[in-house]
A = this chain, B = another copy of it.
Amino acid sequence: MTIREIHQSGPYRYSYSPFHPPIATVEPGETVAIHTVDAFENKMTPEVRHFADVCTYPFLNPQTGPIVVNGAEPGDTLAVKIHEITPTRDHAITGTIPYFGGLTSTKLDPTLQPPLEEQWLYLPIDDAGIHFDAQRVIPYEPFLGTMGVAPEIEAVNALTPDYYGGNMDCVETRPGNEVWFPVHVDGAHFFTGDAHASQGDGELTGVALEIPARVTVSFEVKKGYGVKWPRIVSSDFLMVAGSARPLEAAARIAWVELIDWMVNDYGFDRMKAYHLLGQVGQMRLGNMVDPKYTMVAKCPRRYLDRL
């Protein structure tokens, strides 16, 4: 079956915002292929020495969107099933940006120290994976670094994750999983971009294995079902992505939303959900480099389903 290919019309978007004109409208149940550029709008090439020569803050992390999902209204939840992420380039790019990353001072937590060296790596991708160097091949385990919906009255730069999704940089937003977002405006106004061929927990250097991609997804609208923070469903886990600083605040946001889920949909008493997560809950670090950090709380579904 042929599916619709959605390319950005007009400029890529650098904010999660209700103020951008939609580029497409999709129906619930429809599967579409969204084309994304990499986090540097595909401008980094081996000839470029300095990131700052081709990219200027806040025009970073370009997003494809907004895509209107018919029927989605404030108070609903938009469920986005990720089917496939295919790189549309033969290599991934990673690097270090001055004063950005997990093991350097940054402009949001500055020191007087000099920056780390700026280094850029162009890593071939083939069927074996991503070739980090001659001896090391990293498996291709792609995910969407950034995805989400428009806030109600705000427009937030595309580097920041928050309650509406955005730049969560968590490996769980991957093919096979379904991601749920709270709808704030009519049509939800979905955005995505920043596909990663793979990434370590925390996106430690601040830059993953960045690729442009063709991303197939389908949408459902859960009418009258509200969530406060992005939720993720896999075959084995219920998950919530919380974003805040410091990391423990992100974790607490995720744990509490996960407990609310267990209470509302699975009949748990709040204290019992707390006890269970204390013993079987898992926590995955999304990013510890963006303006807000992301932690993903997880509950194995085998402790939840039909009891």
Listed in ascending order, the chain A residues whose CB lies under 8 Å from chain B are 14-15, 17, 19, 58-59, 94, 96, 101-105, 107-117, 119, 121, 130, 132, 135-136, 138, 152-157, 198-209, 244-249, 251-253, 255-256, 259, 270-271, 274-283, 285, 288, 293, 295, 303, 307
Q: Which residues of B contact A135 (CB under 8 A)?
A: 307
CB-nearest residue of chain B to A152:
B58
CB-nearest residue of chain B to A58:
B153
Our pick among B117, B246, B280, B281 for the contact of A245 (Cβ within 8 Å) is B246
Q: Which residues of B contact A130 (CB under 8 A)?
A: 279
Q: Which residues of B contact A293 (CB under 8 A)?
A: 248
A221 to chain B, nearest CB (A): 23
Q: Which residues of B contact A251 (CB under 8 A)?
A: 102, 202, 247, 285, 288
A96 to B94, CA, bound (A): 35
A269 to B17, CA, bound (A): 42
A103 to B202, CA, bound (A): 23
Q: Is the interface of A mostly helix, strand, loop or mixed?
A: loop
A125 to B133, CA, bound (A): 48
Is the pair B199, A112 in contact by a Cβ cutoff of 8 Å? no
Beyond contacts A109-B249, A247-B247, A248-B288: 18 other A-B pairs, Cβ-Cβ < 8 A, are A14-B153, A104-B113, A107-B253, A108-B253, A110-B253, A110-B256, A111-B252, A113-B113, A113-B115, A154-B155, A155-B155, A199-B279, A204-B281, A205-B274, A205-B278, A207-B278, A245-B249, A246-B247
CB-nearest residue of chain B to A243:
B108
Q: Which residues of B contact A19 (CB under 8 A)?
A: 19, 155
Is the pair B249, A248 in contact by a Cβ cutoff of 8 Å? no
Give me 17 A-to-B residue pairs in the complex whose CB atoms sit less than 8 angstroms apart, sorted by A's number: A58-B152, A58-B153, A96-B274, A102-B278, A109-B253, A112-B116, A114-B114, A117-B271, A119-B271, A135-B307, A138-B279, A200-B280, A204-B278, A204-B281, A205-B277, A207-B278, A251-B285
A102-B255, A285-B285 are contacts. A111–B110 as well, Cβ < 8 Å? no
A152 to chain B, nearest CB (A): 6
CB-nearest residue of chain B to A199:
B279
Q: Which residues of B contact A138 (CB under 8 A)?
A: 279-280
A18 to chain B, nearest CB (A): 9
Is the pair B256, A112 in contact by a Cβ cutoff of 8 Å? yes
A105 to B245, CA, bound (A): 14
